Amino acid sequence: MDWDDSPEQAAFRAEVRAVIEQYLPGRYREGNGPDERAWEFDRKSDDAGARDAAVAWQQALSARGWVAPEWPKEYGGAGLSPNEQFVLNQEFAAAGAPPVGGSGVRLLGPTLIVHGTDEQKAKYLPPILQGEVAWAQGYSEPGSGSDLASLQTAARRDGDEWVVNGQKIWTSGAHTADAIFALVRTDPQAPKHRGISFLLIDNIKTPGLSVRPLIDMGEHHYFNETFFEDVRVPAGNLVGDENRGWYVAMTLLDFERSNIVAAVGARRTINELIEDIGAEGVTATSPVRLAIADRYIETEVMFNFSFRIISMQNRGVIPNYEASTSKLFASELNQRLALTASRAFGLAGTRCDDGSAAGRYTNMYVRMVPATIRGGTSEVQRNVIATRGLGLPRG
């Protein structure tokens, strides 16, 4: 494995840095924007400056196809190779530059490119790229999280429409989204992994659809509950075959679990922690110093997990259990990293989000609680690794 940039990669890295230097709005340089889904939340912010920053950054990336760097050029993306995507994400993470497009770019777009009809691609892909429509993901339900296939939100065919009833939970960013894609049960008599369909609800304000906030322990509004009461959706909004939505969803989750950017995010956090400890004159105790060293090594391990994903994608292989391995390691690393960072500041680490370095890391720790739940729990990832990777029988 050659960890150094090739001449082509080095040239592309220089180009990315130049674009960031010239076009990244000061809001993101100064760390004033929200640290997750920054672009999505800013585009609907009450703050005109935040909205302007979101628009300006979207336009800068759109001019280069970098809104959707992995999409083929024929669909408006940049068609970047996995290595180029890695360079782009690495530089974005290092600069605090937010990606644009959210779940529409990262999840729904690639899935439509694989499973959508020509009409669906023509209708839904351009507004995602232009920053006109942001999508939320409607998967988890109050009784169907880790066992997603047991979902009960139902869609009944009524002429040229589907009528949807049920509830979703942990719907990230739904309060600022314009639309939502959802898994719904279309055949209640079929085995649980069958009888599920993938449905596009292209207006989140459709009559009967309501979004209610869930405030997390860090006092942030990130998640939501979403309710469907006789929500009518055109029949043409079905993606893939009826009752085969589970397989469409699994394609989407493979994109979600690749976690190429997780490694550079962890590396940035550990480097910032080391700088903050030095700047504030903190004398970390021996156990904490050893823990910081462990976290540093683990971020490098995560970096190599990312390289493995890239090498697979370069060969045209969609990561499966390998992506679950990366997701599992990254989410648990982020929790350990945040806990170690808060402990490094001793009693000052009991403060949360008070503007200090200690408070920032404590807030990070609080917000990392869902990391091993969202996107598939650690238990689910271990099951995938055991059965698909190691060939072990299902328990």
Taking the whole predicted model, whether its pTM rises above 0.75 is answered as yes
Which structural domain range is residue 192 located in? 135-243
Nearest Cα neighbor of 174 from 210, 224, 216 is: 224
Q: Which helix (H) or strand (E) holds 88?
A: helix 82-95
Helices 82-95, 286-314: axis angle to 10 degrees equals 150
- Say what the pLDDT of residue 33 is: 44
- Say what the pLDDT of residue 249 is: 86
Q: Is residue 299 part of a domain?
A: yes
Helices 321-344, 286-314: axis angle to 10 degrees equals 160
Instruction: Tell me the mean pLDDT per 10 residues along the chain, length 395.
Output: 80 97 90 68 94 96 93 93 83 87 92 95 96 95 87 97 97 96 96 94 97 88 95 97 91 61 83 86 78 94 86 77 89 93 85 78 86 83 91 84
Q: Residue 135: helix, strand or coil by DSSP?
A: strand
DSSP letter assigned to residue 244: B
Strand pairing class (161-169; 154-158): antiparallel
The residues near 122 (Cβ < 8 Å, ≥ 6 apart) are none
Strand pairing class (209-215; 221-234): antiparallel
Q: Are 212 and 324 within one domain?
A: no
Give residue 311's identity as a one-letter amino acid code.
Answer: S
Catalytic residues: 256
- Say what the pLDDT of residue 5 is: 83
Q: Are 301 and 333 within one domain?
A: yes
Distance CA 202, CA 266 (A): 35
- Say what the pLDDT of residue 35 is: 61
CATH code of 61's domain = 1.10.540.10
Q: Are 235 and 261 within one domain?
A: no
Task: Say how many domains are in the chain.
Answer: 3
